[in-house]
Structure 1
């Protein structure tokens, strides 16, 4: 039953992680999936009959459901009477843009985003988000450009929402733009995961998170880069559907996520 309500049976999606014998990522992928995803969002490599608690049903964006980028954009135009689309357009008018980046070059900005508020939709922020710049890796000593992953099907990358800012620095390093929101995106075969997805609290009203999510969706639909390609229809997971309170749940639903279980095979 295709629905976003948890009082009905959620969808079950099957995906492949493409860990064939020739892939050097096999061990690390299975280790991550087994130890992390199985516990937090019920990705199960071995037992398809595992019971799922309502709290742990993941939020899943099914690319096949919308059929194409045009189909997704048509859906967005209907959300909040078009308000979601207007938020994206507003961000673009304000000069925000999305790009992949090297995390080590943006630690101070990541720290600013993390510490921009103590309370968000899900409640009080975890102490993890209030680590110091030094604890997060320190100030950059040079500017490092984003490098595409070596394996197109298994990776961890960072992408964010920026605005140009002449002379803007991270420590002593001139980077020329400021980061306002970021996503730590992970790929395991046909499964994409928002490991982290956060924006500076003071700029959420500008639509930076809507812009970031729409950029991810558009890039995957278009296969804009080799590391986003693939022959099968992928899934994108953003934590638990019920995690984070009603505010975050509403955001996920409007973004196109729905509660569903995910069963992964090698």
Structure 2
């Protein structure tokens, strides 16, 4: 276990529960209204193939830190209800209603040349490292990665371009999604990658629940709206359900109501996330 993993274990085991208890009532009052109820099935019986058991086990483990049984204990999960959106047009309508600038930002980012797609982590280990270490402080506080993270903690950088491969299981998987921009001459270690990864998410799925397990953008590109662009693309991919790994997802989960500062809370609201009372079944 590296130093960051050790410190994060202490944080989630000791400090996070204290912060959640202190913030819960005030944040719920600030948000207004009663959180909607939702029952989501992790569909454990459908997990099969490489990586599926890990995806299911990790979802169970992370969910233990949250109130996933509607008991009022633990952090309040924030989710985008995909069923409420209905389809891609419904998502766009919802985003417009939440902020008049949402679609303007998304379209502007597209015109600037940013592209969103899944990627093989091995091709962009150094880009992910650059993103993680681009800020000393984020919405959750000081970023330990700024000083302690090394590229090898993230993964092994390949020297030959690796193709992206779809997951072996349609309902239990981990897919890295990213925002890219053309950057001639750009390199990840010894690998020349003519496009640069400027934002990413480690997207995890177990049954009906999809989770932004890790969501981050490089400081130099955040103002271009790359995070909202990526979020809208992923949500649309799930709603369109054109490929088997996208079918049957009912909600996207991103952190807790009690996590982060006012800026992150505002971003979540504008992106369609809301606090929910969840019951997880299997």
TM-score (norm: length of structure 1) = 0.87
**Equivalence map 1:122-141=2 (5 Å):** 122-127=140-145, 130-141=148-159
Measured at CA, do residues 49 and 175 of structure 1 come closer, stay the same or move farther in structure 2, by a change above 3 Å? closer
- Return the offset for 1:265: 1.2
- Return the offset for 1:138: 4.3
**Equivalence map 1:1-266=2 (5 Å):** 6=31, 8-20=33-45, 23=48, 28=54, 30-39=56-65, 41-43=66-68, 48=69, 50-53=71-74, 56-80=75-99, 82-127=100-145, 130-230=148-248, 234-266=250-282
Question: If each structure's helix is expressed as a fraction of its own residues, which one has the higher value?
Answer: 2
Single out whichever of 220-229 and 204-213 deviates more from structure 2. 220-229
CA displacement, residues 35-83 of structure 1 (integer Å, 9 cap, x when unaligned)? 22112x233xxxx463334xx1011100122222111211222333x21
Structure 2: any 5+ residue segments left out of the alignment?
A: 1-27
Q: Distance in 2 between matches of 1:4 and 1:156?
A: 34
- Return the offset for 1:5: 5.4
Measured at CA, do residues 94 and 259 of structure 1 come closer, stay the same or move farther in structure 2, by a change above 3 Å? same
CA displacement, residues 137-193 of structure 1 (integer Å, 9 cap, x when unaligned)? 343222111100000000011010001223322111122210000010000011000
CA displacement, residues 168-226 of structure 1 (integer Å, 9 cap, x when unaligned)? 22111122210000010000011000000100011111010010000011100101322
Measured at CA, do residues 173 and 57 of structure 1 come closer, stay the same or move farther in structure 2, by a change above 3 Å? same
Structure 1: any 5+ residue segments left out of the alignment?
A: none
TM-score (norm: length of structure 2) = 0.82
Q: Distance in 2 between matches of 1:34 and 1:243?
A: 19
